Amino acid sequence: MSERRGLALLLAPYLLGLTVLIALPALVTFGLALFEYDLITSPEWAGLANFRELWGDDIFRRSIRNSLMFIAAAVPLRLLGALLLALLLHRQFRGVSAYRTAAYLPTVIPDVAFALLMLWVFNPLYGPLNIALDAAGAPTPQWLTDPHDARWAIVLMSLFQIGEGFIVALAVRQSLPGDLYELAEIEGAHAGYLFARVTLPLMAPALLLLLFRDTIFSFQANFVPALLIFDGGPPPYATTYLPLFVYTNAFEYLRYGYAATATLVMFGITAAIVLAQWRILRRWRVASSAA
Amino acid sequence: MAGLQLVGVEKTFGEVQILRGLDLEVEEGELLVVLGPSGSGKSTTLRIAAGLEEPSAGTVHIGGRDVTHVPASRRNVAMVFQSFALFPHFDAARNIGFGLSARGVKRDDVDRRVQAAAELVGVGDLLHRRPHELSGGERQGVALARALAREPEVFLLDEPLSNLDAQLRTRTRAELKRLHGELGRTMVYVTHDQVEALTLGDRIAVLERGLAAQVGTPDDVYRRPADRFVASFVGSPTMNFLPPDAAARFGLGGDGEIGVRPEHVRLGEGEVEGEVVIVEPAGSEAFVHVDAGGPWLVARVQPEELPEVGRRVRIGIRPGDAHRFDAEGKRITGHQ
């Protein structure tokens, strides 16, 4: 068997899965957005009616606003968390493997188990978070009942599941040549200068990739906790994010065409945000490299 | 300007002792080459002098000041790394001015000193290029200019030519020598390349397993090696060694091993005969390996005197050319 053929054979299962599970449903979604379909009766041509309805849907607007607010708060914090953990744990010291494992572990916990665990953590009466806050004399938010606090609870939850970003940032930090840092030590660069002028710019390409990836990921990441812990509430729709809106319309109201339309809009918003980030950061990189 | 002293320096990593009480003194304005094989402790010596490693025991002095526990940034030394350690996202100018900017020197002063240092090493026209746009020699120049720009008291160079090709290495070696002559700064130059050591150094410190086997001028180290290790490590091809019984056949009887440099193995002289087994032409000189019925001897000859393989030749060693080593390997007598 030729090498090319062997490689193609190895790639085949992945390509098959990609086609059947991702590419085809994505194509179907494009078509479905133009129909009204409830899985029981035949699809009914709707043209752009779903888009028009979506435009006037107040719950949809709320879910977009919730999703954008979540991304604005969670993505920078998640990225910062991954970077700080990588900077803290890139050196070799006693017990570092245990710390790295602890940083990664919440990411591999199944979403449902994690959500149930956090339901206990956020409990206003016996949850450890509010007990600790109370002991420290800090205000105790009503995580499960107050709309504002509930949104922050979801952001807080997402900050524990940054293992993948942490691993990438750790690998990138470890790949930076040690002699650059030794040289900087001899040349008298203090830690802040070194971070701003050397570490951050050298890690920037990977951090940018993480930023794009996390933006895309964050649109979907809050689905399970929003559904299991808050069921889209507390009222009025405080944690109804775009994925939950799509889910509710598709599987509770059996409006597959409408859900497909919302999915396309979600896809469009994600692409627009990533494109905007890319353009801004490209300008920033050009400016900073010329300085 | 200042000298550098290492007094009784020891360094242990876990179970492994790298330096075992090393004493080294570099005079003000001197270029000392630290020469040794892999694992002899030469890079560790340099890193301890730079402040990148703390010695397990002993002290480090720069300009008479004890700097053993002084951080690297406050020792006023500069280091040129084997890899050049250039920041890939900076152009040459920012690389050269890195230390000055990091220490808060004003932008105008940084620019002026960067330009002056770059001119001195011949990279003045390349200041806007990034490392990936520079050749190996140019990168080396930028690394050197960076060391010069801060005007440190001591320069520490860790095998700075080993990443260059042979031709460039020879040219840069001469350039470094010129630069040292011009600046008259204290320099410590680590290498495993004896040609670099012999051509560059005011003095050479030959390291063997964490101790200085010999510190002396290149002439001392080559002509009057302190022991068998130095004699065998310095010189290419390496010195020929003859056990006492084999040496007696050449009229060099007595106790101890005899060492003789290839240029002192004389073909066509003496009573001992041997067979030519290998000939190695090397341009301006040639090497002949002769089986003299005991250890093989290597002779350095003129290319036009090259015998054929298989031919029998007479081999002679003049008593004045031989070095005699005692049972511990110390040199007792020998070629002056």
Mean pLDDT score, B81-99: 94
Chain A residues lying within 8 Å of B89, measured CB to CB = 201-202, 289
pTM to 2 decimals? 0.82
Which of B179, B174, B124 minimizes the C-alpha distance to B148? B179
Cα–Cα distance for residue pair A202/A21, rounded to 1 Å: 37
A289 touches chain B (CB under 8 A): yes
Bridge-based pairing state of the strands B4-13 and B57-62? antiparallel
Residue pair A144/A124 in contact (Cβ under 8 Å)? The answer is yes
Q: How many residues does chain B have?
A: 336
How far apart are the CA of B62 and the nearest CA of chain A, in angstroms?
15
Residue A291 pLDDT: 45
Chain A residues lying within 8 Å of B98, measured CB to CB = 183-184, 187, 189
Q: Which residue of A has its CA nearest to B158?
A: A179
What DSSP designation does B226 have? S
> pLDDT grade, residue B157 (50/70/90)?
very high
**Lowest mean pLDDT, pick from A36-40, A256-260, B100-104, B287-291:** A36-40
What DSSP designation does A253 have? S
pLDDT at residue A290 greater than cutoff 60 = no
Chain B residues lying within 8 Å of A188, measured CB to CB = 73-74, 99, 102-103
Residue B166 pLDDT: 83
A291 touches chain B (CB under 8 A): no
| 3-class state of residue B66 by DSSP | strand
Residue B335 pLDDT: 62
Structure tokens at A258: 């409408």
Chain B residues lying within 8 Å of A183, measured CB to CB = 79, 81, 85, 98
pLDDT at residue B105 greater than cutoff 90 = yes
Cα–Cα distance for residue pair B317/B48, rounded to 1 Å: 44
Q: Note whether B78 contacts A177, CB cutoff 8 Å.
A: no
Residue A288 pLDDT: 55
Residue B241 pLDDT: 94
Question: Which of the pair, B176 or A234, is modelled with greater confidence?
Answer: B176
B172-209 per-position pLDDT tens digit: 888 889 989 988 899 999 999 988 999 999 999 999 99
Q: Which amino acid is at A141?
A: P
pLDDT at residue A262 greater than cutoff 90 = yes
Residue ranges in chain A assigned as alpha helix (H): 3-17, 24-32, 49-55, 58-89, 96-108, 111-121, 128-135, 147-158, 163-175, 178-187, 191-194, 200-221, 223-225, 242-247, 256-290
B268-313 per-position pLDDT tens digit: 888 899 999 999 998 999 999 999 887 889 999 998 888 999 999 9
Q: Note whether B102 contacts A189, CB cutoff 8 Å.
A: yes
Q: Note whether B150 contacts A187, CB cutoff 8 Å.
A: yes
List beta partners, residue A101: none
Q: What are the backbone angles phi and psi of residue B332, rounded to the nearest 5°?
A: -95, -55
Mean pLDDT score, A244-255: 93
Q: Which residue of A has its CA nearest to B147?
A: A187
pLDDT at residue A88 greater than cutoff 50 = yes
B25-53 per-position pLDDT tens digit: 999 999 999 999 999 999 999 999 999 99
Q: What is the mean pLDDT of chain B?
A: 92
Residue A179 pLDDT: 94
Residue B336 pLDDT: 54
**A188 closest CB neighbour out of B79, B88, B102:** B102
B310 touches chain A (CB under 8 A): no
A162-217 per-position pLDDT tens digit: 999 999 999 999 999 999 999 999 999 999 999 999 999 999 888 988 998 898 88
> In what helix (H) or strand (E) does residue B79 lie, and over which residues does it extend?
strand B77-80
Interface of B with A in 66-85 (CB under 8 A): 71-75, 77-79, 81, 83, 85
A111-161 per-position pLDDT tens digit: 889 889 998 999 988 899 999 999 999 999 988 888 899 899 999 999 999
Residue B240 pLDDT: 94
Q: Note whether B72 contacts A186, CB cutoff 8 Å.
A: yes
Q: Which residue of A has its CA nearest to B150?
A: A187
Cα–Cα distance for residue pair B60/B63, rounded to 1 Å: 10
The percent of residues above 90 in pLDDT, for chain A, comes to: 65
Q: Note whether A185 contacts B72, CB cutoff 8 Å.
A: yes
Mean pLDDT score, A214-225: 81
Chain B residues lying within 8 Å of A180, measured CB to CB = 85, 87
The percent of residues above 90 in pLDDT, for chain B, comes to: 74
Q: Note whether A188 contacts B77, CB cutoff 8 Å.
A: no
Q: Note whether B89 contacts A189, CB cutoff 8 Å.
A: no
Q: Note whether A187 contacts B50, CB cutoff 8 Å.
A: no
pLDDT at residue A89 greater than cutoff 80 = yes
